[in-house]
Structure 1
């Protein structure tokens, strides 16, 4: 598995259910990305996952971050919330293939994982796969991405 691009800027966020895994991922990624932006939460107090999806999305859409990582209990809530935001292509991935293929084929810019679903070692592998992947603008990928982008414009 390739290492992430060391110039990559990553925004990471999650609710209370994702907090323990988020902290482990932050520690694991230390020094592997140029900028790691912690968008919260910062403790185990109950919090609302849409708030963190918005914060991560804003960092990407403003150009402060290249990609995002969202962690809630299942990964589903943050995925649903993030995909409501223009410019965000988020997917829940609990395997390495989907994590890199989503970037390569679909230009996925936010990875969503479930802190109560997968363990830290698998999470590290999935995040590494996501961060090391690059969009490959082959004709079929570009055509499909354009159709996705047009759905946002409607």
Structure 2
């Protein structure tokens, strides 16, 4: 399977180990950077991975930053993308089976490399099962379209 892989500087070392793990498992990895421990802004990497997945250039991706939160939020801003932050195998499996998430996100400062490899392996080996979940995923995507058109938008004042 072709997999996009990207990170920020906090996750460079984990990305490199995940890349080697995926190659050893027979996957074609497209490395979106970063390419060193030099500081980069995670939205730049996350947006590019998510854009290419949204445009169907690559079927799935993995994004890693310090906590995983930033890349999850950034990737989720790209229309059509469902990114799932997972630090355990059950969540990784459900991200795919129940939510058809195209992007797995993780935090390099949250989990160790061996757990990360198991999470990646579980995510990659899981497939969307449809059923009742199809209805829910459709609702998410329909809601996204409505919000993009400006429907259901209410300003909140605090």
* TM-score (structure 1 length as normaliser): 0.91
Deviations 1:70-128 (A, max 9, x none): 00000000001111111110011000000011110111110000011111100000000
RMSD: 1.0
Count of matched residue positions in the alignment of Structure 1 and Structure 2: 146
What is the aligned counterpart of 1:25 among 5, 18, 22?
A: 18
The list of structure 1 runs, each at least 4 consecutive aligned residues, that deviate by more than 6 angstroms after superposition, is: none
Structure ranking higher on relative contact order (CA contacts 8 Å, 6+ apart): 1
Partner of 2:105: 112
Partner of 2:3: 10
Asked which structure has the greater CA Rg, the reply is: 2
Unaligned runs of 5+ in 1: 1-7
Return the alpha-carbon distance in structure 2 between the equivalents of residues 59 and 126 of structure 1. 23
Return the alpha-carbon distance in structure 1 between the equivalents of residues 115 and 8 of structure 2. 20
Return the alpha-carbon distance in structure 1 between the equivalents of residues 26 and 126 of structure 2. 14
* TM-score (structure 2 length as normaliser): 0.89
